[in-house]
Amino acid sequence: MPTNEVPPRIAVIGAGISGLTCATELAERGHSMTVFDKARGPGGRMSTRRVPDLGVGDDFDHGAQYFTVRSPELTLRVERWTTDGVVAPWYARVIAICPDGIDESSRQTQRVVGTPGMNAICRRLAESLDTRFGVQVSAIEKNRDGWAVLDEAGDTLGTYEVVLCTAPAPQTEKLLRGIAPAIAERAATVRMQPCWSVLVAFTDPVRVDFDAAFVNSGPLSWVARTSAKPARETSPDRWVLHAGPRWSAEHLEDDADRVIEALLPAFFDAIGAPSSKPAWSKGHRWRYALAENPLDDGCLYDSSLGIGACGDWANGNRVEGAFLSGLRLAKEVEQALHR
Ligand SMILES: Cc1cc2nc3c(=O)[nH]c(=O)nc-3n(C[C@H](O)[C@H](O)[C@H](O)COP(=O)(O)OP(=O)(O)OC[C@H]3O[C@@H](n4cnc5c(N)ncnc54)[C@H](O)[C@@H]3O)c2cc1C
């Protein structure tokens, strides 16, 4: 961009991995970026929940558990983040608990986690950006100078030449329906599955010889000793239990305490350990956890409107898909602004 030009103002809705990747890429190219998120901090579905009352070890990765790295783009980034201390390999013993026994085949997968929590990457990315947390964007309206972004009270959060939405597909569809119908229609084709997550801490460690397990029967789909990940305090013994999409959908509106009552016995049943009373537990519902039928578009951008969308749901799912989707959207916006 020529130095005497005023950079276009760009709003990004969502401070998850896709939004922050997109925003940092564009900021590095000299664009004026503002990132809004309704949550209290960065991370989105890569958040880490802290429970100060628990004592020394007080963190739970209650959304994404780890990620895998296949693309050269993420490989390069992970090398940098490793040097910076915000990620580390997780050499875990991960098993699959099947109705007919234990399967060890997923043990070979190379897993990476944020350190000291899954949210570390997003926190690092957010450091260099203008971020506004605790702000829910409720509408985007055309005005004379561009797009006015409005909060829940209808107050303006500024006017921007470009607005990029990185919320899960149903929320993106709702925000863009009236202003970018083609993008909204694409987002509307994506079904997102819920996930009930139970966070639980035990004073006496649960007696099992693995760190995490895919669970292939009953209500659960995954259990992990979150305190066994690198750079975490090991005490108290902290576990994250994820219910499968079907069970989560059937119990979507259940009270969190009822969900804990159902999933704790299922946990002990699945791992074959004697049940014990947790020192602390909490249920967290992810209404939009994973896309059932993600797009392979990479990202969605209408350069004539200056409206775009990205996220895991637009690019094959999961952390790596979301990261690549954010990179791709930044590239498309950059190219369009220089045409
Ligand atoms: C329970 C669970 C387990 C998972 N396990 C794994 C795993 O092991 N490995 C893996 O690779 N992936 C996993 N995933 C998926 C992974 O977390 C996501 O693919 C990835 O984090 C998505 O990033 P994103 O930036 O696309 O979206 P998000 O992280 O969802 O970011 C979107 C952001 O937009 C914000 N937002 C939404 N609407 C508004 C609004 N109106 N105004 C302001 N802000 C708004 C939200 O608060 C959120 O922070 C898991 C997800 C869940 C929920």
Residue 121 one-letter amino acid: I
Cα–Cα distance list, 221 to 13, 96, 247, 270 (Å): 30, 10, 10, 10
Cα–Cα distance list, 244 to 215, 261, 263, 264, 286 (Å): 9, 16, 11, 14, 12
DSSP string, 89-110: E----EEEEETTEEE-GGGG--
Mark whether 321 and 232 lie in a shared domain. Answer: no
The reported pLDDT for the residue numbered 53 is 81
Report how far residue 99's alpha carbon sits from residue 180's, in angstroms, rounded to the nearest whole number: 47
Report how far residue 250's alpha carbon sits from residue 227's, in angstroms, rounded to the nearest whole number: 29
Mark whether 113 and 221 lie in a shared domain. Answer: yes
Mark whether 111 and 124 lie in a shared domain. Answer: no
Domain end, chosen from 275, 291, 307, is at: 291
Mark whether 174 and 255 lie in a shared domain. Answer: no
Mark whether 108 and 127 lie in a shared domain. Answer: no
Report how far residue 11's alpha carbon sits from residue 196's, in angstroms, rounded to the nearest whole number: 31
Average pLDDT, the chain: 95
Residue 274 has pLDDT above 70, yes or no: yes
CA of 142 to the centre of ligand 1 (A): 27
The reported pLDDT for the residue numbered 56 is 79
Least confident range of 1-10, 32-41, 217-226:
1-10
- List the structure tokens of 102: 């234990």
Residue 5 has pLDDT above 80, yes or no: no
The C-alpha torsion from 16 through 19 and 22 to 28, rounded to 10°, is: -80
The reported pLDDT for the residue numbered 265 is 97
User: What is the maximal distance between C-alpha atoms in the chain?
Assistant: 69
| Local structure of residue 5 (DSSP, 8 states) | S
Mark whether 21 and 134 lie in a shared domain. Answer: yes
Mark whether 204 and 87 lie in a shared domain. Answer: yes
63 lines ligand 1 (CB under 6 A): yes
Q: Residue 327: which H helix or E strand, with range?
A: helix 318-337
Report how far residue 177's alpha carbon sits from residue 163's, in angstroms, rounded to the nearest whole number: 14
Q: Residue 284: which H helix or E strand, with range?
A: strand 280-291
244 lines ligand 1 (CB under 6 A): no
136 lines ligand 1 (CB under 6 A): yes
Mark whether 111 and 148 lie in a shared domain. Answer: no
114 lines ligand 1 (CB under 6 A): no
Cα–Cα distance list, 265 to 218, 269, 280 (Å): 11, 6, 15
Residue 261 one-letter amino acid: E
Mark whether 187 and 124 lie in a shared domain. Answer: yes
CATH number, domain at 257? 3.90.660.10
16 lines ligand 1 (CB under 6 A): yes
Q: Which atom of ligand 1 is nearest to the CA of 242?
A: 1
Task: Give 107-147 pLDDT, tens digit per residue.
Answer: 778 999 999 999 999 999 999 999 999 999 999 999 999 99
55 — pLDDT class (breaks 50, 70, 90): confident
Distance of CA 63 to the CA centre of its chain: 7
CA of 102 to the centre of ligand 1 (A): 30
Mark whether 138 and 278 lie in a shared domain. Answer: no
CA of 90 to the centre of ligand 1 (A): 21
Residue 105 has pLDDT above 90, yes or no: no
CATH number, domain at 174? 3.50.50.60
Mark whether 9 and 52 lie in a shared domain. Answer: no
CA of 179 to the centre of ligand 1 (A): 24
Q: Which atom of ligand 1 is nearest to the CA of 135?
A: 43
Mark whether 203 and 102 lie in a shared domain. Answer: yes
The reported pLDDT for the residue numbered 1 is 53
Q: For residue 37, give its domain range.
A: 1-41+119-191+293-339
34 lines ligand 1 (CB under 6 A): no
Least confident range of 48-62, 174-188, 226-240, 291-305:
48-62
Ligand 1, atom 4: nearest CA belongs to which residue?
64
Ligand 1, atom 49: nearest CA belongs to which residue?
44
Report how far residue 85's alpha carbon sits from residue 107's, in angstroms, rounded to the nearest whole number: 24
The reported pLDDT for the residue numbered 3 is 53
Q: Which atom of ligand 1 is nearest to the CA of 319?
A: 11
How many domains, the chain?
2
39 lines ligand 1 (CB under 6 A): yes
